[in-house]
Amino acid sequence: MTTPIPGPPGWPIIGNLRDVDINDTVRCFGDLAKTYGPIYKLHLGGDDRIFISSQELVNEVCTRKEFVKIPIGSLKQLQYVTPKGLFTAPHGQKEWGEAHRTLTPAFGPLAVQDMFPEMLDVASQAVLRWARAGENNKINVAEDFTRLTLDTIALCAMDTRFNSFYKDDLDPFIEAMLTILKEAQVRSSRPAFVTPFMRDANQKFEDAIAYARKVAADVITKRRANTSGAQKKDLVDAMVNRSDPVTGKKLSDDVIIDNMITFLIAGHETTSGLLSFLFYLLMTHPEAYSKLQQEIDTVVGKGPIKVEHLGKLLYVKASLREALRLHPPAAVWGVTPLLNDDKDSDEHIVLANKYAIRQNQTVLVLTPGLHRDPAAFGDDAEEFKPERMLDDSFQALPKNCWKPFGNGARACIGSDFALQEAILATAILFQKFDFRLADPDYKLVIRQTLTLKPQGLFMYAKLRDGIDSISLQSDIFNTGSHSVSNRAGVVSNTVVGNNESRTMSLFYGSNTETAKGLAERFAVSAFSRGIKCTIKTLDNAIDHIQTQHPVVFFVASYEEHPDNGVKFIEWLQSSRGLNLEGVKYSLFGCGNRDWTHTYQVTPILVDTLLQDRGAVSFAARGATDVSRGDILGDFESWQTEQFWPGISHLFGETIVSNEPDYLSLLDQKPENEPSNGVQVEVIQLTKMTAATDRPKYHMEIELPKGVTYNVGDYLEVYPQNSDEDLHRLLQVFKVRDREDADPVIMAIFTRLELNQQATANQIRKLSEICASIKEKALLTNLADEVSNSSQSGVPTVLQLLVAHPTIAISPNQLVPLLPSIRSRPYSISSSPAWSPTRCTLTWSLMDRPALTDARYKNEPAVVGLASGFLARLAPGDSFKASVRPGKDRFRPPQDLSSAPMIMLCIGAGIAPFRGFVQHRAEAIRRDPSASLAPAVLYVGCRSAQEKLYAGELAEWEQNGAVKVRWVFSRPTSQGENGAAAAQGYVQDQVWTDRADVVPLWDEGARVYVCGSRALSQGVRDVVKRIYGDVARSRCGPKDEEAVNEWWLDVIRERYAVDVF
């Protein structure tokens, strides 16, 4: 039995046409959803159309294979313009499949990264135009962002310049596009029989189409005329020169032109709408505006923006996601159930177990309603709140609740391009300008064509302090280079290398060619080590996985398995008796956390299936998240840390590459140095515990003018090696002082970490170049000991070099053995409410166990690089650091009266919670009548002598800011200052106090954990145990699955962890 789908009653003949404003259909559809619910139907001529807008229904439509995407409305009318375009072609069209497979790699993550210089070029034109026009120039937001996005897609994808920012009027192509879009919108909202009578409009439509196709044809002609061989690898190149990997056919000129127009329209129309809505939202939400600009200042600073900055602009990306949520430019998309080949079949499908939908009946997804579904986004779903779209929160959202780019195979293949372009544009514009609405009383009005955009939105752009229009251009580009990811060694042949004694097979699976690009880079790296590689697709591995030599798989997963790997995965899953014993392999996976529920699914599946079939992995699986923008960094780290050590062990010898020139280190800024680092001054340094094992320190720091922080933020510290390290490094190379040192030696000291414990691989490399047979044997034995056990008392590379002077090493040989110095984030342990210009840090000195081997008895104790660096400072010293925004979920509630807080920590994990409690104490000091929600702080330490901030916390407890529960892991009598204390571990005490904790939870408490992974795991287990205990008494027993489901809901909103 099915349930009738609700909807407004229709009129004879015209049906529900009177219920819809043809010029504002999206708003009307949304209003009807508010009246009739998340599913309703309208009769608009022809068959009834179904409208859905809840996450539950959309999720079902997106996950059931029976539903296929279809062009609707204006998009359907554009079939007249581009009948074989990716967005307009009907389901099942042969040309669509060929074009999709051919074009998708052109918009893969690596390809998009390589478009950064062109994107920066066009964005700089917007900056210069606005700067030169002056702060009193009224900017038409949607119009100028149309200029920006059209010029960007044209230059990046087709190597064509429209130069829109150098013209007062819009480019003729833009005018033609607007004519086409407007007419398509009009045609979609009137009866078809009327169109032949609209002769003037039809002529303008035909003229615009003819002009657009001529522009596209001219681009193709120009590209084919270029026979120099130096053709740009872009969209046009893919369409003109590439073949469909399945059929082997090249695209026809009609298909090429259709898709060029498709990308010129879709590639600028939606992104210009996104940027227009974002700027409106930011200008009307000052707090988000400030956070976004502060992040840009912290990550990019005042220098030129680089491609590696983009992945670090997390709040910018979250703001764009949130703008897409509230105002998706592509607001409605259609699907239909396809159950068999009979278009007139009466067969139907049942949605949500009660609504019958006939074959080929149109189902329209109302994206604005979906994106504001309280079941997915909470009671504040109507509010602009970028924090909900930061990575942790974004990944915890229900499946298929955020769909601005469509769904499945017909989803937008240019989403990576659009987001990179939008992040770059937002970053460079907010870096250079302050913005305000031209009309402070402006109320958002939305204009609907093919997409949605703000109408009548104008703003002023004022250059920020310290920036002038004269030097602006040189500031944007500065060094003349853009730090683009250099895709070295693009391999044209499938065989690389010339050493027949060592070979490897490389197999890749990827729709965007990201995995293929990595395989090609890897082949070049292997070539430098004398290894021969063959490169083929995953499907070519069927029945061809060799046992004679290692195999490496490069596998991508986004929403589905890669097209060129589907058969291979099916082969692994279904082949009975398949035996891969003797196969030695490793695997690197590519994924995108924006596709939360399928991130790394395919790489993990392939890895598991290979092992189930008997293959053995010789190096741990690697992974990269392309949304972070550091694909190559992740890939190089995996090779260095996992693959080459693993393959060396497999071959029984160390695999090394030709020695490069490392003097370039002197000219490079350390990769992980805070990009907007400033000098901060030490005001006070206190050693808080007398213990020699990991003593605790407190530091008070003066921040320079203009640098601010929020409670819960981090201070990113760039540490330095010690003078003692330098002395010993000079000793190794027999140099008297730094003035006489080789430049590479000083680069090692300033750029590379000298005090990490040596790995087995590093020790073996030192053994290989050791001149003494006796010491070579000692080093070899030490490497074996380190390899076979998790020893803690292992010397550093520097200690080994000092202790074994017969190791004949050059500075250039030492460089690849050592890791780069990286910045370390420390939780700020104060509140800006206490002092907006000062902050404090709390940390443990990370000391290493003493070396027991007599050969190293004279070696000094080794401490952590960053913790030791901070401990060596004195009042008056300065060091480089930057404020890094903390996780929004790991902060006190903005309204301190809204929800209780339960904080749990051990040792120096008290750092952020001292800031939280100080924040509450300052609120009470400023308003003694303030009524704050309860807060309890559990602090674990070994004994009463190691309590941190005991007196301060006792005072704050007396004032009502917090209740403190000390927990000692060693026997003790009583806490200092009479504070209550217990023996055991923090999580055990929470269980003991559950009668006090549960009422706080019932009041909406938020739980915060800061400490080790063991603490995090222990607290998680106890919280689930308490839930099971309470549930048993209130509503009956809960099985493990029910408890785990409850836990997943908890960690989305009310549980935050910071593990160190």
DSSP string, 356-409: EEETT--EEEEHHHHHT-HHHH-TTTTS--GGGGSHHHHHTSPTTS--TT--GG
- Asked whether the beta carbons of 699 and 873 are under 8 A apart, the reply is yes
Which uninterrupted H or E stretch holds 827?
strand 824-827
Which uninterrupted H or E stretch holds 491?
none
- Asked whether the beta carbons of 572 and 609 are under 8 A apart, the reply is yes
CB atoms within 10 A of CB 362: 17
- Asked whether the beta carbons of 64 and 363 are under 8 A apart, the reply is no
Residues 974, 975, 978, 981, CA torsion sign: negative
Query: How many CA atoms within 13 Å lie on the side-chain side of 683?
Result: 10
- Asked whether the beta carbons of 184 and 74 are under 8 A apart, the reply is yes
Give φ, ψ of 463 to 5 degrees: -60, 135
CA nearest neighbour of 82 among 239, 206, 254: 254
**Rounded-to-integer distance, Cα 786 and Cα 770, Å:** 18
Cα angle, residue 581 at apex, residues 580 and 582 outer, rounded to 5°:
110
Residues 1034, 1039, 1040, 1042, CA torsion sign: negative
CB atoms within 10 A of CB 942: 17
Residue 753 to residues 489, 592, 819: CA-CA distances in angstroms?
29, 31, 6
Q: Is 401 annotated as a binding residue?
A: no
Tokens of 427: 């970053």
Instruction: For residue 689, give the amino acid letter.
Output: T
**Rounded-to-integer distance, Cα 507 and Cα 536, Å:** 5
Instruction: For residue 933, give the amino acid letter.
Output: A
Which uninterrupted H or E stretch holds 940?
strand 935-941
Tokens of 936: 């309890």
CA nearest neighbour of 677 among 886, 866, 882: 882
CB neighbour class for 619 (10 Å; exposed up to 12, middle 13-18, buried from 19)? buried
Tokens of 751: 């750029």
Residue 2 to residues 339, 357, 475: CA-CA distances in angstroms?
18, 10, 65
SS3 readout for 691-716: CCCCCEEEEEEECCCCCCCCCCCEEE
Burial 748-785 (b: 16+ CB within 10 A, else e): bbebbbbbbbbbbbbbbbbbeebeeeebbebbbebbee
Residue 247 to residues 94, 97, 244, 978: CA-CA distances in angstroms?
10, 10, 6, 80
Instruction: For residue 560, give the amino acid letter.
Output: E
- Asked whether the beta carbons of 961 and 917 are under 8 A apart, the reply is yes
**Rounded-to-integer distance, Cα 551 and Cα 546, Å:** 7
What angle, 0 to 180 degrees and rounded to 10, lies between the N-to-C axes of helices 514-527 and 631-638? 40
Which uninterrupted H or E stretch holds 781?
helix 773-788
- Asked whether the beta carbons of 944 and 968 are under 8 A apart, the reply is yes
Binding positions for heme: 412
Binding positions: 412
